[in-house]
């Protein structure tokens, strides 16, 4: 396939090949790579699903788009589903999807607390446990470090009681990196969740090395800057040299940049389209760019 293939053309060809079936499976010789959670050694696939957009569209679009994406994720060897508590009416429809017999035991649910006040945080946790039909959530995070002082004792208690297997915190903007760094140095926990991409590269300066030093797994959000990345590269041909690291689209260009950093455990991608998720997951296959190439990637994107 030409390295000048656009995202739209890539998806058209996948459709023509019948790659849009709900439960796409990798060819036998292809295995989605995994990376270890430092605190336990448990391994996670390197590409996951950020469910916020898809879940929020359930009232208008129904559950079918989310179900198709979840089936694609599992069919291609993925596990990680990142979510946040939503209105009970929405999560009451999302929860049963997480418990479909063919999905329940194959998913790693990364949940969040995203409210103010200790009791409100407890209520969010109880709602997720009830609607997701899980006493134990794989990962509970304080989203955007919101009211962290109120929630952190709860997270530590939930891990102690077995209601959370892992705990962590999230940020989604460079402006929050200094506060996150201070917390990472002050506390010991399992996961740190941050923004990072071929455009937003600040995390690689201090946060990613610090996570490695502190033994923390790393989840990555905003690989496409909530869509702004695609606006930047729209109409631009993919460089010929992207073929050197098995990259066939601009989406994979950013994802392969992220995954080339060995300190990243899993990158989360948000989509309601199985074909987009398949394209994203395939970024984890094949070659990754080396250090010289990642510099070239950064320099190219900065000129666009």
User: Can you give the C-alpha Rg of the chain in angstroms?
Assistant: 19
226 Rama class: left (phi>0) / alpha (psi -120 to 50) / beta: left
What is the reported pLDDT for 31? 84
Chunked into runs of 10 residues, the chain (304 residues) has average pLDDT values of 47 43 51 96 98 95 96 97 96 97 97 98 98 98 98 98 98 98 98 98 98 98 96 97 98 98 97 95 97 98 94
- Tell the residue number behind the tokens 């077995």, with chain if given: 162
What is the reported pLDDT for 43? 98
- Sequence-ordered strand ranges (E) for the chain: 34-36, 43-45, 47-50, 80-82, 108-113, 137-142, 164-170, 191-195, 217-221, 266-269
pTM: 0.91
Rounded CA-CA distance 200/298 in Å is 10
Q: Bridge partners of 218?
A: 192
Question: Domains in the chain, ordered, with CATH?
Answer: 7-24+36-303 (3.20.20.100)
The first and second tokens of residue 285, run together, are 């296959």
What is the reported pLDDT for 135? 98
Rounded CA-CA distance 71/48 in Å is 12
Rounded CA-CA distance 98/104 in Å is 6
What is the reported pLDDT for 24? 46
Non-local CB neighbours of 219 within 8 Å, separated by 6+ positions: 48, 80, 82, 110, 168, 170, 191, 192, 193, 194, 265, 266, 267, 268
How far, CA to CA in Å, does 4 sit from each of 248, 250, 304?
Answer: 7, 10, 16
The first and second tokens of residue 108, run together, are 């790693």
Rounded CA-CA distance 255/36 in Å is 18
């Amino acid at each position: 396939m030409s390295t000048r293939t656009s995202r739209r053309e890539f998806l058209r060809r996948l459709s023509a090949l019948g790659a849009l079936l709900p439960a796409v499976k990798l060819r036998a010789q292809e295995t989605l790579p995994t990376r270890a959670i430092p605190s336990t050694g448990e391994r996670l696939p390197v590409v996951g699903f950020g469910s916020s957009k898809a879940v929020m569209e359930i009232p208008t679009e129904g559950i079918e788009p989310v179900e198709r994406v979840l089936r694609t994720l599992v069919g291609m060897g993925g596990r990680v589903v990142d979510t946040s508590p939503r209105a009970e009416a929405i999560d009451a429809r999302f929860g049963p999807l997480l418990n479909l017999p063919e999905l329940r035991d194959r998913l790693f649910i990364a949940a969040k607390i995203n409210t103010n006040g200790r009791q409100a945080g407890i209520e969010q946790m109880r709602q997720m446990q009830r609607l997701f039909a899980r006493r134990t959530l794989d990962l509970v995070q304080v989203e955007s470090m919101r009211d962290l002082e109120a929630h952190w004792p709860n997270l530590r208690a939930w891990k102690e009681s077995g209601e959370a297997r892992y705990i962590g915190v999230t940020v989604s903007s460079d402006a929050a990196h200094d506060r996150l760094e201070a917390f990472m140095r002050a506390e010991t926990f399992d996961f740190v969740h941050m923004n990072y991409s071929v455009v937003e590269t600040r995390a690689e300066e201090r946060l990613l090395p610090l996570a490695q030093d502190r033994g923390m797994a790393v989840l990555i959000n905003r690989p496409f800057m909530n869509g702004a990345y695609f606006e930047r590269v729209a109409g631009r041909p993919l460089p010929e040299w992207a073929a050197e690291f098995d990259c066939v689209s601009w989406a994979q260009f950013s994802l392969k940049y992220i995954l080339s950093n060995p300190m990243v455990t899993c990158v989360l991608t948000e989509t309601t389209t199985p074909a987009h998720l398949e394209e994203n997951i395939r970024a984890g296959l094949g070659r990754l760019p080396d250090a010289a190439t990642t510099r070239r990637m950064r320099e190219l994107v900065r000129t666009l």
